[in-house]
């Protein structure tokens, strides 16, 4: 049985948002069992709360945004991947702005900060989503295939017509340690020729060589180069896990993705939470087949660098 966890004490950090360019402070506080990750817009008078759940997904253009009643928090996927990596299921995330800071473009700074808060167990079981039949999802030439398996396995492929990328594949039999060491350091990336267009559309206003891999026609222009030869595929896997965390469950099965996007990732999350013909959700020994397991109640109750400081 897997138990839920939270952090023992609050931690805070601040930084610039990748797309808004707004500098924002974030405080992460312990969360009660079955609440999941809750984002709070602490800069607004009413301090509106937005659960990090699939039914609050708001936008998927270049990032994952959750929202409620017109209030949003964007670019949450790297922080959510850090929560997933560390097994933190319940947390209150107070964000004094519209976007989570991008840090260095990876999840490693978030992992480092959250580890300082100390992770503690809660005496409540965590839900498990077991894939019982194949599901295929397509978006243009991109696709994701979910299939049964005895463990959580991720197989991600990307393909770009660029000499530094080409076709890359990363296969991961998930464990927290492997994910933290091999996937969390992988940074987001973009292309020089797209920068001005993105800025004109309201994106990438905070992007820089300090928080993203930037490529021109010939190669990477960041002075330090790549952290991994296949860093691009690894970051796509990072984004996928960050998005998958919005299903609020441990996943058992294999997920194969080719050129995944946030939009396609969100369709995976919806399938895992809604496809009763292809998934089995269980908690504390109960399943959907058990009359005492109320999935409606369960869904409503569960769900470049940063400067960190411990809150007193």
> Where do the H-state alpha helices sit in 101-150?
108-116
Buried b (16+ CB within 10 A) or exposed e, 125-136: bbbbbbbbeebe
The residue behind tokens 């996937």 is 183
Backbone angles phi and psi of 18, in degrees to 5: -60, -45
Q: How far apart are CA 257 and CA 236, in angstroms?
A: 9
Which secondary structure element, helix H or strand E, spans residue 274, and what is its range? helix 262-274
Q: How far apart are the first and last CA of the chain?
A: 34
138 is catalytic: no
Partners of residue 166 on adjacent β-strands: 160
Contacts of 21 (CB under 8 A, 6+ apart): 205, 206
Torsion of Cα atoms, 230 then 152 then 175 then 265, to 10°: 50
Q: How far apart are CA 310 and CA 308, in angstroms?
A: 7
Q: Which among 5, 19, 235, 262 is annotated as catalytic?
A: 262
Burial environment of residue 185 by CB neighbours within 10 A (0 to 12, 13 to 18, 19 or more) = buried
Q: Where in the sequence numbering do the catalytic residues fall?
A: 262
């Amino acid at each position: 049985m897997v138990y839920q966890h939270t952090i023992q004490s609050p931690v805070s950090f601040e930084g610039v948002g990748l797309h808004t360019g707004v500098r924002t402070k974030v405080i992460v506080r312990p969360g009660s069992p079955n609440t999941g990750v809750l984002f709070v817009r602490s800069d607004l008078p009413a301090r509106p709360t937005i659960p990090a759940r699939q039914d609050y997904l708001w936008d998927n253009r270049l990032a994952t945004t959750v929202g409620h009643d017109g209030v949003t928090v964007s670019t949450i996927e790297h922080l959510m991947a850090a929560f997933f990596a560390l097994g933190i299921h319940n947390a209150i995330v107070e964000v004094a702005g519209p976007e989570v800071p991008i840090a260095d473009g990876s999840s490693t700074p978030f992992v480092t900060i959250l580890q300082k808060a100390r992770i503690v167990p809660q005496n409540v079981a965590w839900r498990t989503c077991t894939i019982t039949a194949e599901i295929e999802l397509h978006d243009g030439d991109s696709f994701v295939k979910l299939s049964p398996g005895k463990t959580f396995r991720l197989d991600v492929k990307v393909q770009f017509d660029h000499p530094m990328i080409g076709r890359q594949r990363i296969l991961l039999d998930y464990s927290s340690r492997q994910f933290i060491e091999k996937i969390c350091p992988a940074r987001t990336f973009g292309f020089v020729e797209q920068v001005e267009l993105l800025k004109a559309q309201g994106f990438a206003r905070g992007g820089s060589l300090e928080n993203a891999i930037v490529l021109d026609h010939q190669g990477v222009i960041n002075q330090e180069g790549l952290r991994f030869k296949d860093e691009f595929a690894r970051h796509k896997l990072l984004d996928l896990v960050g998005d998958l965390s919005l299903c609020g469950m441990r996943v058992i099965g294999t997920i194969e993705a080719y050129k995944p996007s946030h939009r396609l990732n969100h369709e995976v999350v919806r399938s895992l939470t809604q496809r009763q013909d292809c998934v089995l959700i269980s908690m504390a020994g109960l399943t959907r087949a058990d009359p005492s397991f109320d999935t409606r109640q369960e869904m409503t109750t569960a769900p470049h660098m940063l400067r960190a400081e411990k809150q007193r």
